Chain A
């Protein structure tokens, strides 16, 4: 991949081995300024390691990365001064209040206390934590902690924001609030790079995404394009007694069938014949829905458990 000027993040042939195991094996990325880019993959796909390589926190065995135009890890310090990071697990300081967390974190960027304090009201408002400046971290809910971590990542007004599974473990209300905040950041022109295994999250937020598995990027594209390109537009999920017998017959009704345990997934552009047949099978339960990114993901990475 040639060097492109103006890319917010570029990686070429990144490789990293840990303890004799290839964790990242030849990752290429090109993310334009203002994009919301999603890195999707099952557990252990190498997403977090890829982020760490892009941040210049660890050195690649091969390949190179440029973050905001700066070679990392050689110039990681300068690059990270203009970047924010929301880590996978909250690592707020439990000994501090909400405001103290922001002040102490801002100092790591070389910001003066007065400059940080001037930003705090705005950051707290963004995070929906107005009036909580003096609250202790232990008194915050999971969603509030996540929003504070997001606010902390914005303390230096970064151009680019890395988020490692920003909504894992949150309830739907908290998740929607985070999504809404991220959209707000996109409107401000910030570049967002997030890892997730919530397909819904990627589909809603990301302008473009890459699906990663076993250290490699398998496909890249917009959520819509990936769905159009890799999967039939409609899905019928079927389960219930007599599934075996029905499946044998259904092979002539849908171009592609997939069996996962006690469920059969029928993929087709036109699922009418399948549904017409199922209406005559009262013992079978079915769900008809449009195909989504999760179907693409499962097709490309398989249905096996990853631990």
Chain B
């Protein structure tokens, strides 16, 4: 493929929605275990850490540790849901089942397929984040109506992590490859982004690293919004997430074209 075309902006048709609908139809068949997974995973962590550690730590940043942690989990659950869909599920459709190959034989471009997968992974991420918000609300830690503003943040975060995941997917040789990304990128990001403790606890230079991480910016928005407080510098945080989403999707598009079309 000629270079210019490989680096061109994505060329999309509204039919990309058909890719999203395909994945939705599969999900609908497995919806119950999927939703249970979305709820059970963070809930187990939350109860374990929230009640256990919370009893030791008392209040943090003016709220109970349980509420503090739950808000962080709303952001990190979104991150993990987007990532798993864009890594394992997308890889299986791209490489194992050859679903993408079937789709591009129809009047669809690879860009359409990728954009459909991107929106789908972001949708699943949103669903995971909403499950956490429902739990937080059920425990009375969400302050409405401002808590509703956390939802568009989860949409942005889902798009950002889905895009990054699809870029990693385009480089993967097999499922094992994803361990690098999960262990070397996502796990440290989880630790440094203020999910478990305020970022201010970190040494100064490491705080600078944290400031570059998309999860940090999601947490900085979601936590105050859920507790009914306007976050500081909301446009900066939203801008970073949008930047990760846009650049990540562009990178995913170029890398996937390189993998499958050249």
On whether the beta carbons of B25 and A96 are closer than 8 Å, the reply is yes
A2 CB, min distance to chain B CBs, angstroms? 26
Chain B residues with CB under 8 A of A104: 18, 21-22, 25
* Complex Cα gap A76–B97 (Å): 24
Q: Does A269 contact B (CB under 8 A)?
A: no
On whether the beta carbons of A57 and B99 are closer than 8 Å, the reply is no
Chain B residues with CB under 8 A of A94: 97
On whether the beta carbons of B102 and A105 are closer than 8 Å, the reply is yes
Q: Does A15 contact B (CB under 8 A)?
A: no
- The contact of A108 among B15, B26, B29, by CB within 8 Å, is B15
Q: Does B137 contact A (CB under 8 A)?
A: no
Q: Does B108 contact A (CB under 8 A)?
A: yes
- Count of chain B residues with Cβ under 8 Å from any Cβ of A? 26
- The contact of A80 among B2, B19, B105, B261, by CB within 8 Å, is B105
Chain B residues with CB under 8 A of A105: 102, 106
Task: Please provide the chain B residues from 56 to 104 with a CB less than 8 Å away from any CB of chain A in the complex.
Answer: 97-99, 101-104
* Complex Cα gap A96–B102 (Å): 14
Chain A residues with CB under 8 A of B103: 108
A5 CB, min distance to chain B CBs, angstroms? 23
On whether the beta carbons of A91 and B97 are closer than 8 Å, the reply is yes
- Count of chain A residues with Cβ under 8 Å from any Cβ of B? 26
Chain B residues with CB under 8 A of A198: none
**Chain B: interface secondary structure?**
helix
Q: Does A59 contact B (CB under 8 A)?
A: yes
Chain A residues with CB under 8 A of B98: 87, 89, 91
Q: Does A77 contact B (CB under 8 A)?
A: yes
Known: A77-B109, A81-B107. A87 touches B102 (CB 8 A): yes
Chain B residues with CB under 8 A of A59: 1-2, 5, 261
Chain A residues with CB under 8 A of B29: 95
Known: A94-B97, A107-B15, A110-B15. A80 touches B22 (CB 8 A): no
B23 CB, min distance to chain A CBs, angstroms? 10
Chain A residues with CB under 8 A of B19: 108
A165 CB, min distance to chain B CBs, angstroms? 15
Task: Please provide the chain A residues from 61 to 105 with a CB less than 8 Å away from any CB of chain B in the complex.
Answer: 76-78, 80-81, 85, 87, 89, 91-96, 100, 104-105
On whether the beta carbons of A107 and B18 are closer than 8 Å, the reply is yes
Task: Please provide the chain B residues from 1 to 43 with a CB less than 8 Å away from any CB of chain A in the complex.
Answer: 1-2, 5, 13, 15, 18-19, 21-22, 25-26, 29
Chain B residues with CB under 8 A of A92: 102
Among B18, B19, B97, B105, residue most surrounded by chain A Cβ atoms (within 10 Å): B105
**Chain A: interface secondary structure?**
loop
* Complex Cα gap A166–B21 (Å): 29
Chain B residues with CB under 8 A of A133: none
Residue of A nearest to B103 (CB): A108
Q: Does A55 contact B (CB under 8 A)?
A: yes
On whether the beta carbons of B107 and A110 are closer than 8 Å, the reply is yes
- The contact of B21 among A77, A78, A107, by CB within 8 Å, is A107
Chain B residues with CB under 8 A of A110: 15, 18, 107
On whether the beta carbons of B105 and A109 are closer than 8 Å, the reply is no
Q: Does A58 contact B (CB under 8 A)?
A: yes
- The contact of B107 among A80, A93, A96, by CB within 8 Å, is A80
* Complex Cα gap A55–B106 (Å): 10
A46 CB, min distance to chain B CBs, angstroms? 16
Chain B residues with CB under 8 A of A55: 105
On whether the beta carbons of B26 and A77 are closer than 8 Å, the reply is no
* Complex Cα gap A233–B19 (Å): 53
Chain B residues with CB under 8 A of A77: 13, 107-109
Residue of B nearest to A93 (CB): B99
Known: A87-B101, A108-B15. A95 touches B109 (CB 8 A): no
* A 106-131 binary contact with B (CB < 8 Å = 1; else 0): 01111000000000000000000000
Chain B residues with CB under 8 A of A100: 25
B120 CB, min distance to chain A CBs, angstroms? 13
A96 CB, min distance to chain B CBs, angstroms? 7
A232 CB, min distance to chain B CBs, angstroms? 41
Chain A residues with CB under 8 A of B108: 77, 108
Task: Please provide the chain A residues from 140 to 165 with a CB less than 8 Å away from any CB of chain B in the complex.
Answer: 156
* Complex Cα gap A108–B109 (Å): 10
On whether the beta carbons of B107 and A108 are closer than 8 Å, the reply is yes
B13 CB, min distance to chain A CBs, angstroms? 7
- 26 pairs, A vs B, C-beta closer than 8 Å: A58-B1, A58-B261, A59-B261, A76-B107, A77-B108, A80-B105, A80-B106, A81-B107, A85-B105, A87-B101, A87-B105, A91-B101, A93-B26, A94-B97, A95-B29, A104-B18, A104-B25, A105-B102, A105-B106, A107-B15, A107-B18, A108-B15, A108-B18, A108-B106, A109-B15, A109-B107
Add 19 more A-B contacts to A87-B102, A108-B19 (CB < 8 A): A58-B261, A77-B109, A78-B107, A80-B105, A81-B107, A87-B101, A91-B98, A93-B99, A95-B26, A96-B26, A100-B25, A104-B18, A104-B21, A104-B25, A105-B106, A107-B15, A108-B18, A108-B107, A110-B15
Instruction: Please name the 4 residue pairs, one residue from A and one from B, whose CB atoms are nearest each other, closest first.
Output: A108-B106, A85-B105, A107-B18, A91-B98
